[in-house]
Structure 1
Amino acid sequence: MITAVAEILPQLVWTADAAGSVDYANLQWSEYTGLPSSEVVGAGWAQVLHPDDTERTWAIWREAVRQQTPYEITYRLRRHDGMYRWHLARAARLRAPQDEKPRWFGTCTDIHDQKRFEDSQRLLVESSRVLAASFDLRRTLPTVATMMASWFRGYCLIDLIVGDRLERVAAAHCDPDKQALMEEMRGFSPGDDRRSPLWRIITSRQVEVCNTITEDVIQRGTKSDRHAEVSRALGGTGYIIAPLIAGGRAVGSLMIGATSGEPFEEIDARPVEELGYRMAIAVANARAFTEALEANRLKDEFLAIVSHELRTPLNAMRGWMSLLRAAKLTEEQKVHALDVIDRNIGTQTQLVEDLLDISRIVSGRMRLSVHPVDLESIVNAAIDSVKPAAAAKEIRLKSAIDVPDGWIHGDPDRLQQVLWNLLSNAIKFTPRGGEVDVIVRRAKGQAELIVTDTGQGINQDFLPHVFDRFRQGDGTTTRSFGGLGLGLAIVRHLAELHGGTVTAHSDGEGHGATFTLSLPAGSAAARRVDAPEAASAG
């Protein structure tokens, strides 16, 4: 009767004695494991039990028999295709006459998908807790990598996009003896090699699952003999790679490598993809926090500089005004005092104008009055305005203007402001006896103005930020050069409003700097057509 019922049940059904020796297994057992009934009986069934579950399984069985209590356990059984799947095994003692040996009736129910889902949810909850605990990615990401490597019984690599490179920030292996290899793997980050599988995933934004790591796969995914050697030593048999995407932006990649030989299933890719999403949000939040701290620091630094820069001319004016009121100055000293006061008024006026310009830029209220403009006349006017400052420092100011048809469309006052900023900056940072060269030319339909100096140059770390608002190479109030650090930010914005660009180049400190302003070039014909309209508009 029992066997007849057992044959129609979907579960794997068996009966065994107190020693765990199976004397009956239904047809489903043979179909699932691929073993004929003759190989299942006795202790033969244990050959499909996962090696890591064997000791625990027998211990719980013996305890259930000893206590005469129902037997219940979850373990992995090998399917006919070689894959291990989780099962819930339950058994109870059958009633039998006292003179018969006790027998147990048991079933095994496939709970693999349910268990993997529940386990993955616990993993995601714990990983999210770690990611939310701190904005310090150097601490949180290695911890999550270790958790992922342990859960998948393999290894984990996390790479983040930094600039235009993919940099490895975490590498962990479930086997402590292999962690040294993982540390070496951190040195094999893809960088800017767009042929890397990790870059490919970031570009496609699709999860990739591979269950066969061949020598060809290793060669295509490594960039040196040592890299390939380490990859082989890790013993990888498959991998899952997921892009890290938050807010529509890719920030990196997450790779899980299998070392057990068990193939990845579709259900395995889901938690990796979900964790990739959560990790991307954590990375974006951490970077936003860091940027906010930096912005706050720059704000405090800028306010200190503004206070210092506004106070300096005021102190000078106050001092000379006190002397003038005392009426103890000679006529020559009075003239000098008025010159100093006038010069400091000009300095303070320029500081206020820069602040107002930045306010207009930030609020989007900066407007241009565009007319046909002769670029050569504007360049000459700007050069004339800085000649006294150059002469005071014995700086040679040279120009080469080669624009036969130098008319462009622009706001003459704002263009002069751009050129004055570039030239005065060059003179400010060029030592006494140095040289500033100005070249104006046509290039690929653009009017180019190039200002080159032999000054102190620009630190390579600061160069990418040279046009940022409130940024200076030296942001202290005791720095050698004055100013608010707004001039080049204004230059960039005005250049962009004119449909142009401005770039900076320097070979480093002590090697001078070159600024190139490119503006869309007009034509003489355009000048003749537009000039009357401009005149009438005025």
Structure 2
Amino acid sequence: MTTFSSNTQQSATVPPAWPDNERTARLCAETALFMRDHVLSLVSHDLRSPLNAIHSWAYVLERKLDAGDATTQRAITGIRSGVDQQVKLLESLVDTTRAETKSLALARAPFALAAMIDATADAVRTPFAQARAVTVTSGSTLAGERLNGDAERLAQALWLMLTFAIETSVRETSVALENTLDGTTWQATVTFTPAPAALGDAALPHLLEAFARRQAQEPREVGRIAWVLALCRRVAEAHGGKFEQNEETLVLRVPLGAA
């Protein structure tokens, strides 16, 4: 049976600066790094399709136009050359820059799953949830399961899920973390009541960058997550799992014996 514990703390004042400690600062930096590389990945993917189309149509035009017209042939050559230059830029700048997070290295070792979850939830409750007057509840059906994976990376993903949920919640509301076992797969589900205006509320303390919070308010294409949650997806996939962003839930699924 699932049991719940809650921690409700409120603060009348907003901390003067965030983040407030070294670990939180590092987590915010990791979040920004993965978001940058996620955006670069989208740019690389979304630019290649129109560039390929331009390249193909240039060949079509070349066959249709007068081969003896030097000006026309120079124009076609210029189009193809411009496309080739753009593709090389994508390969040398965009693809190379995001290589580190694209092939995410993991420090695998068996670890106690429940202990990592509890420690991560506590780190989010104080001081961030406290300052936002948001209650963070945790429920679990886990027993003594151990997961063979990178405990630090998984803690980062869980931290970001909870932090994002708090960022998009108004004061006096709650965020729920539910941990279950689906066969041999750990599933962490964060449930919240989204209030997009909270992401940009200057009267509230924030951990995530303003740019990331603004983008998270925009409509998402089917299957795409908010850029700021890129770390969650990469960590899940590196462990052979999945990450999903739904309207009111964030879901992380990772096999206990992640290969």
TM-score normalised over the length of structure 2? 0.54
Structure-1 residue corresponding to 2:131: 392
* Residue 366 (1) aligns with residue 124 (2): no
**Cα RMSD, aligned residues only:** 3.3
Amino acid at match of 2:141: D
Structure-2 residue corresponding to 1:444: 183
Counting only pairs closer than 5 Å after superposition, residues 57-72 of structure 1 correspond to structure 2 as: none
Question: How far did 1:426 drift?
Answer: 0.5
| Counterpart Cα distance in 1 of 2:241 and 2:145 | 15
| Counterpart Cα distance in 2 of 1:341 and 1:391 | 13
Deviation readout 1:97-138 (Å, 9 max, x if unpaired): xxxxxxxxxxxxxxxxxxxxxxxxxxxxxxxxxxxxxxxxxx
Instruction: Tell me the secondary structure at the aligned position of residue 442 of structure 1.
Output: strand
Structure-1 residue corresponding to 2:120: 382
Question: How far did 1:396 drift?
Answer: 1.5
| Counterpart Cα distance in 1 of 2:18 and 2:219 | 38
More strand by share: 1
Question: How far did 1:353 drift?
Answer: 3.2
Instruction: Tell me the secondary structure at the aligned position of residue 172 of structure 2.
Output: coil
Question: How far did 1:411 drift?
Answer: 0.3
Q: Which has the higher contact order (CA 8 A, sep 6+)?
A: 2
| Counterpart Cα distance in 2 of 1:356 and 1:459 | 20
2:158 to 409, 419, 429: 419
* Residue 516 (1) aligns with residue 251 (2): yes
Question: How far did 1:404 drift?
Answer: 1.3
Query: Could you tell me whether the CA contact under 8 Å between 2:236 and 2:254 is conserved in 1?
Result: yes
Question: How far did 1:422 drift?
Answer: 0.2
Question: How far did 1:514 drift?
Answer: 0.5
Query: Could you tell me whether the CA contact under 8 Å between 1:499 and 1:519 is conserved in 2?
Result: yes
* Residue 493 (1) aligns with residue 234 (2): yes
Structure-2 residue corresponding to 1:404: 143
* Residue 464 (1) aligns with residue 222 (2): yes
Query: Could you tell me whether the CA contact under 8 Å between 2:113 and 2:144 is conserved in 1?
Result: no
Change (3 A) 1:498 1:463: same
Change (3 A) 1:374 1:403: same
Amino acid at match of 1:370: R
Query: Could you tell me whether the CA contact under 8 Å between 1:463 and 1:504 is conserved in 2?
Result: no
Counting only pairs closer than 5 Å after superposition, residues 118-133 of structure 1 correspond to structure 2 as: none
Question: How far did 1:409 drift?
Answer: 1.1
Structure 2 unaligned residues grouped into runs of 5+? 1-14, 38-95, 197-215
| Counterpart Cα distance in 1 of 2:188 and 2:27 | 23
Deviation readout 1:247-280 (Å, 9 max, x if unpaired): xxxxxxxxxxxxxxxxxxxxxxxxxxxxxxxxxx
| Counterpart Cα distance in 1 of 2:97 and 2:183 | 29
Amino acid at match of 2:98: V
Instruction: Tell me the secondary structure at the aligned position of residue 154 of structure 2.
Output: helix
| Counterpart Cα distance in 1 of 2:18 and 2:154 | 28
Question: How far did 1:444 drift?
Answer: 3.2
Structure-1 residue corresponding to 2:87: none
| Counterpart Cα distance in 1 of 2:158 and 2:231 | 11
Question: How far did 1:347 drift?
Answer: 7.1
Amino acid at match of 1:362: R
Deviation readout 1:39-80 (Å, 9 max, x if unpaired): xxxxxxxxxxxxxxxxxxxxxxxxxxxxxxxxxxxxxxxxxx
Change (3 A) 1:365 1:518: closer
1:343 to 6, 11, 20: 20
| Counterpart Cα distance in 1 of 2:28 and 2:135 | 27
Amino acid at match of 1:384: D
Instruction: Tell me the secondary structure at the aligned position of residue 343 of structure 1.
Output: coil
Larger Rg, first or second structure (1 or 2): 1
Amino acid at match of 1:496: E
Instruction: Tell me the secondary structure at the aligned position of residue 252 of structure 2.
Output: strand
Q: Give % identity.
A: 25
Instruction: Tell me the secondary structure at the aligned position of residue 137 of structure 2.
Output: strand
Amino acid at match of 1:395: V
Query: Could you tell me whether the CA contact under 8 Å between 2:104 and 2:234 is conserved in 1?
Result: no
| Counterpart Cα distance in 2 of 1:354 and 1:372 | 24
Query: Could you tell me whether the CA contact under 8 Å between 2:116 and 2:151 is conserved in 1?
Result: yes
Instruction: Tell me the secondary structure at the aligned position of residue 493 of structure 1.
Output: helix
| Counterpart Cα distance in 2 of 1:521 and 1:346 | 26
Change (3 A) 1:465 1:407: same
Instruction: Tell me the secondary structure at the aligned position of residue 138 of structure 2.
Output: strand
Query: Could you tell me whether the CA contact under 8 Å between 1:361 and 1:493 is conserved in 2?
Result: no
Structure 1 unaligned residues grouped into runs of 5+? 1-336, 473-484, 507-512, 524-538
1:353 to 1, 6, 30: 30
Instruction: Tell me the secondary structure at the aligned position of residue 98 of structure 2.
Output: helix
Amino acid at match of 1:519: V
Counting only pairs closer than 5 Å after superposition, residues 211-230 of structure 1 correspond to structure 2 as: none
Structure-1 residue corresponding to 2:211: none
Structure-1 residue corresponding to 2:202: none
| Counterpart Cα distance in 2 of 1:389 and 1:342 | 9
Amino acid at match of 1:518: R
Deviation readout 1:282-327 (Å, 9 max, x if unpaired): xxxxxxxxxxxxxxxxxxxxxxxxxxxxxxxxxxxxxxxxxxxxxx
TM-score normalised over the length of structure 1? 0.28
